[in-house]
Amino acid sequence: MNRMPTIRRKLYPHVEPRQTGRIKVSDLHELYWEDAGPVNGIPVIALHGGPGGGANPDMRRFFDPRYFRVILFDQRGCGRSTPRSTLEENTTWDLISDIEKIREMLGIEKWIVFGGSWGSTLSLAYSITHPDRALALLLRGIFLLTKSEINWFYQHGASNLFPDAYDRYIAPIPEAERGDLLNAFHKRLMGPHGDERRDAARAWACWEGETLSIRGPSARPPQFDDDAFTDAFARIECHYFKNGGFFETDGWLLDNAKVLNGIPGTIVHGRYDVVTPLSSAWALHKEWTSSELKIIPDAGHSSLEPGIVNALIDATDEFVQRFR
């Protein structure tokens, strides 16, 4: 673990994609993708959070645009991919297959795998499944998608730190059903479009939006006020979490993390991350011995906390020295 420097870095300037497109990955799903940076740059696949959150162009800004070729895409059912908010043919293994289709389409042999929160989950699952395709991993806000993590955030643990936001989160659920909030929300989110589904989606999504930052509810990102965003975000998240990430066993990622030994990686995690507690990053680091863990002492979950930004950019600059 490294001591954090006192001078903090800023995001690299925004660059427009060099090319964009759509790829048909099944009879049902078509994904939107973007490719930015020099075609001969160090390739990166950037995996967004959620699941269901959609790609954000700021994800490219952790990488020096002179040296990195950064691929973004919207995962099944969200962002600019179609059909929106669809749960059919939407599992972790489908997404891993999609990543491989994009890699093959672009003619990339190996790439850096980058993701935070659910993006870290998918990054780990992909790299464990295809370790020969991972040049390195850069992960933030580790989420192993275990029952204990889901129970911590969606049932009661995080409520002790954000009781104001928690009361807003549970408001659409009758008191008699609050003993099992995951299933109570699932029942409402899987229903037809209507007030009940809309209210449940807003509450589910805003609970995460209000707890992302160490600054609390006032730092909730604006997309959490968009009903189209919250519907896809809440439905797809709840679908994945209800099904345990579609992993064979609870704790599958940690049980298989030794596959990554020998692959370099950096884990960046906020000390006060409420959404995905530090214990998950600590456990992963112990199993994945070729990783470096950077604990940010004054940060929560958001990728845009100053200390998180600093550590991620330091890591990508180190990758330039290693892989250029």
What are the residue boundaries of the structural domains of the chain, listed by start?
Answer: 19-146+246-323, 148-245
**What SS3 state is found at 244?**
helix
pLDDT score, position 165: 98
pLDDT score, position 193: 87
Q: Contact 146/250 with Cβ under 8 angstroms?
A: yes
Structure tokens at 71: 């691929």
Choosing from 29, 186, 285, 301, the catalytic residue is 301
58 labelled catalytic: no
How far is 269 from 216, CA to CA, in rounded Å? 17
Nearest in space to 65 (alpha carbons), one of 18, 8, 105: 18
117 labelled catalytic: yes
pLDDT score, position 6: 52
How far is 171 from 203, CA to CA, in rounded Å? 8
Structure tokens at 317: 């600059």
Choosing from 117, 213, 291, 302, the catalytic residue is 117
Q: What is the DSSP letter of 82?
A: B
pLDDT score, position 7: 61
273 labelled catalytic: yes
Name the architecture of domain 19-146+246-323.
3-Layer(aba) Sandwich (3.40)
Choosing from 74, 98, 273, 314, the catalytic residue is 273
Q: Phi-psi bin for 245: left (phi > 0), alpha (psi -120 to 50), beta?
A: left
Residues (pLDDT < 70) of the chain are 1-7
pLDDT score, position 124: 98
Model pTM score: 0.96
How far is 236 from 316, CA to CA, in rounded Å? 30
Q: Contact 32/74 with Cβ under 8 angstroms?
A: yes
Structure tokens at 124: 């780990």
Sequence letter at residue 77 = G
Sequence letter at residue 232 = A
